[in-house]
Amino acid sequence: EDYHEHCVQCSEVNWGLTDGGRFYCRTCHNVTERTREFVNSAVTLNTRIQTISKGLRKQEKNDEGWEWYVCEGFQFVLMKQAEALEVLGVCPQMKDEILCNFWRRYLQKSQQAYCNRPAGESIKVLSGCESSTDMDSEPERPSLFHLLPLSESDGDPLTDCSFGSSTGKVSESTSVCSGSVDGSLHFRKNQKDKLRMSMPMTLSFCYMALLWLRESMTLSDLLRYELLLNKYTKHSNLVFQSWPVYEEVYDKMLHLAAFLELPRFPDITDSCFLHPDMLCMKYLMEANLPDELHNWTCRVVKKIHIGEADFLTFVPENKSTRKVKYDVLAAAVIVVVLKLLFLLDDNYEWLLSDFAEERNKNNKEDGPYFEFKKWYKVIKNSLDMEQKKMDEERAKCLWRCEKPLFYSAKKKSKVLKRRQIVVNLQHQFGKLSGSRQPAEKPNPSSFQLNWSEENTEGSCFHGHSLKGILQEKCGLLTAMNPDYWLCTVKLCTEKFCGHLAHYRDLDFPASYHFVLRLFSFLLRIQPSYIHEEVCAIEHKLFNKKLYKKPKYKTGQRK
């Protein structure tokens, strides 16, 4: 409180005290040579004692800030992502109990920390590590490892020289592009290494933690939240360079879980949000489809046993079973149900729609019958509009930190001034061009398309009936349509292919492609991934008919 000097870097007066008694700026974290004076009345009255710090032995010629390592940068990113997920409503224990342990285990198994000899020790860094006895000359370094509590049995992440702090000039191995000490070594690693830490890998960590907690957030939801993509650290270029891809993040998560040797995850039961019955209900609402379709999706799930805990629960060590993509599975179940009821062959669904339209005109007392043609028009208009909006937002997206990057305090004022000039010019040109100023973004929601039953335009189909396409048979409602066409007769079994089926939109009916396009937009994935899951469900549903053994006549050799 008695120190009122302005900070030489940011000109703020907001001082704190380090453990060594030095003043540091809480705004820019600049540490000064000035130490606090205090009166020790316990020894002698009116006697003033002042602590004197030795300071740095060598004055740094350049002002490049603290040296840091790639693993520290990614840890900071993970911490910010976990905090952003807490804002979205995720359980608070995710960061400190689940994600923390996953990250510590990764650092230990990859020999980066929590071990006696971390990997990468061949890097020549840090003159201060050459003499470990003189610790008084080292400045207090703000550590990022406070996120991870250490037990007595764990190794010290800072015992090796490659994790120490610099007291001399910036190391020659410091990466110019990232600002980290070992950045050049990290980026020289094999780019195809699926366990190499990257920005998409941070999302794999987050999704793995969400899956362990069985949170009500799918991978497609996670990848849509911009809050997790562009608000990170100003200390490096650890930012996304493009929109993360679903398959890449999911594939990295599988390899990561196997590498960490994690046990069986908590069971996915019918009360969990990730259960197909729950997710089908959500996607039916978002796709503006009748509520009665949920009974049919539940019947399909029960018929082919994809709602059982053993099928849904993630077991990293079991490589023989096919891993479940919960959101894709639910969307594929809905597509199969639509094919069962409406066929989606560019003919039958329109005939049913004409019948329902005629019936709705003549009978307005009962609830309306579902019209596929009307639903198609409403969804197509909304989908085209939302797709255009998303494409424009992605085209305008600048893959950089919200705060400008600068590696020297001397350059800070210039960088901030340039950024302010750019922002002012953007506002001025926006006004001249007549474009609307961007309004505040609404709070994130798991629903992208919202439909209200109170809409007077009749664009909500949740309460519409399926009576026009169903018939009662043996006490059960069955589809009037007796036919069904398979997307593929035989699934692909090539080991190097990696896919059960392949998709080309020209080879399939337009109605089927439209439905795939709708769910691919909702999940932010390619239609081919949903098509592949549809093929897998169809082969389970019609397994007996597809692989029925031929009957042999009496006396015929088997």
Question: Does residue 121 form part of some domain?
Answer: no
Question: Does residue 282 form part of some domain?
Answer: yes
244 with 371, same domain: the answer is: no
Would you say 405 and 415 are in contact if contact means Cβ atoms under 8 Å apart? Answer: yes
Question: Does residue 7 form part of some domain?
Answer: yes
CA 363 from centroid of its chain's CA atoms: 48
**Which band of pLDDT confidence, cut at 50, 70 and 90, is reported for residue 403?**
low
Would you say 228 and 203 are in contact if contact means Cβ atoms under 8 Å apart? Answer: yes
Given a cut of 80, is residue 408 above it in pLDDT? no
Average pLDDT of the residues in 368-394 = 91
Return the pLDDT at 206: 95
d(CA 159, CA 115): 9
**Which of 217, 232, 262 corresponds to the end of one domain?**
262
CA 127 from centroid of its chain's CA atoms: 39
Given a cut of 70, is residue 397 above it in pLDDT? no
**Which band of pLDDT confidence, cut at 50, 70 and 90, is reported for residue 435?**
low
Question: Does residue 437 form part of some domain?
Answer: no
d(CA 232, CA 400): 10
Return the pLDDT at 59: 41
Consecutive H or E run containing 48: strand 48-50
DSSP string, 148-179: SPPPTTSPPTTSSGGGS--SSSPPTT--TTT-
Would you say 478 and 341 are in contact if contact means Cβ atoms under 8 Å apart? Answer: no
229 with 343, same domain: the answer is: no
Return the pLDDT at 40: 44
More confident position, 276 or 164 = 276
237 with 370, same domain: the answer is: no
273 with 214, same domain: the answer is: no
Given a cut of 50, is residue 161 above it in pLDDT? no
Give residue for tokens 């650890």: 238
349 with 224, same domain: the answer is: no
Consecutive H or E run containing 35: strand 31-35
What is the extent of the structural domain holding 213?
70-110+196-262
Per DSSP, 238 falls in state -
Q: Please state, in angstroms and as integers, the Cα–Cα distance from residue 341 to each residue in 82, 338, 462, following that order.
A: 43, 5, 16
**Which band of pLDDT confidence, cut at 50, 70 and 90, is reported for residue 143?**
very low
Return the pLDDT at 525: 93
| Amino acid of residue 251 | D
Rounded to 5, what percent of the chain is helix, strand, coil?
40, 5, 55
Question: Does residue 503 form part of some domain?
Answer: yes
More confident position, 527 or 183 = 527
Question: Does residue 140 form part of some domain?
Answer: no
Given a cut of 50, is residue 47 above it in pLDDT? no
17 with 99, same domain: the answer is: no
Return the pLDDT at 501: 87
Given a cut of 80, is residue 404 above it in pLDDT? no
**Which band of pLDDT confidence, cut at 50, 70 and 90, is reported for residue 120?**
low
Would you say 273 and 281 are in contact if contact means Cβ atoms under 8 Å apart? Answer: no
Consecutive H or E run containing 22: strand 22-25
289 with 211, same domain: the answer is: no
More confident position, 433 or 425 = 425
Number of structural domains in the chain: 3
Q: Residues 6 or more apart from 516 whose CB is under 8 A from it?
A: 335, 503, 527, 530, 531
- Please state the pTM of the whole predicted model: 0.75
389 with 538, same domain: the answer is: yes
Return the pLDDT at 39: 42
Return the pLDDT at 157: 38
Average pLDDT of the residues in 225-229 = 69
CB atoms within 10 A of CB 23: 18
| Amino acid of residue 447 | F
208: left (phi over 0), alpha (psi -120 to 50) or beta: alpha
3-class state of residue 32 by DSSP? strand
Average pLDDT of the residues in 192-199 = 80
292 with 400, same domain: the answer is: yes
3-class state of residue 279 by DSSP? helix
d(CA 446, CA 90): 13
Return the pLDDT at 333: 98
**H helix runs in 408-492, sequence order:** 412-433
Average pLDDT of the residues in 371-396 = 89
Question: Does residue 470 form part of some domain?
Answer: yes
352 with 294, same domain: the answer is: yes
**Which band of pLDDT confidence, cut at 50, 70 and 90, is reported for residue 416?**
confident
Query: What is the share, in percent, of the chain residues with pLDDT greater than 70?
Result: 68
d(CA 208, CA 204): 6
Given a cut of 80, is residue 532 above it in pLDDT? yes
Average pLDDT of the residues in 432-439 = 63
Average pLDDT of the residues in 496-524 = 90
Return the pLDDT at 340: 95
* Per-residue model confidence as pLDDT tens digits over 33-46: 676 654 444 444 44
**Which of 205, 229, 262 corresponds to the end of one domain?**
262
285 with 257, same domain: the answer is: no
Q: Please state, in angstroms and as integers, the Cα–Cα distance from residue 389 to each residue in 271, 461, 544, following that order.
A: 35, 24, 45
3-class state of residue 233 by DSSP? coil
Judged by average pLDDT, the poorest of 176-180, 187-191, 222-226, 320-324 is: 176-180
Q: Which of 86, 87, 84 is nearest to 76 (CA)?
A: 84
Given a cut of 80, is residue 183 above it in pLDDT? no
* Per-residue model confidence as pLDDT tens digits over 10-28: 778 888 877 667 777 877 7
3-class state of residue 284 by DSSP? helix
More confident position, 108 or 458 = 108
Average pLDDT of the residues in 280-308 = 95
CATH number, residue 84 = 1.10.472
3-class state of residue 522 by DSSP? helix
Question: Does residue 2 form part of some domain?
Answer: yes
Given a cut of 90, is residue 212 above it in pLDDT? yes
Judged by average pLDDT, the poorest of 97-111, 189-203, 509-523 is: 189-203
Average pLDDT of the residues in 382-390 = 90
More confident position, 392 or 360 = 360
* Per-residue model confidence as pLDDT tens digits over 77-94: 899 899 999 988 999 999
Average pLDDT of the residues in 47-70 = 51
Return the pLDDT at 546: 66
**Which of 245, 262, 279 corresponds to the end of one domain?**
262
Average pLDDT, the chain: 76
Consecutive H or E run containing 25: strand 22-25
215 with 346, same domain: the answer is: no
* Per-residue model confidence as pLDDT tens digits over 314-362: 999 888 788 899 999 999 999 999 999 999 999 999 999 999 999 988 8
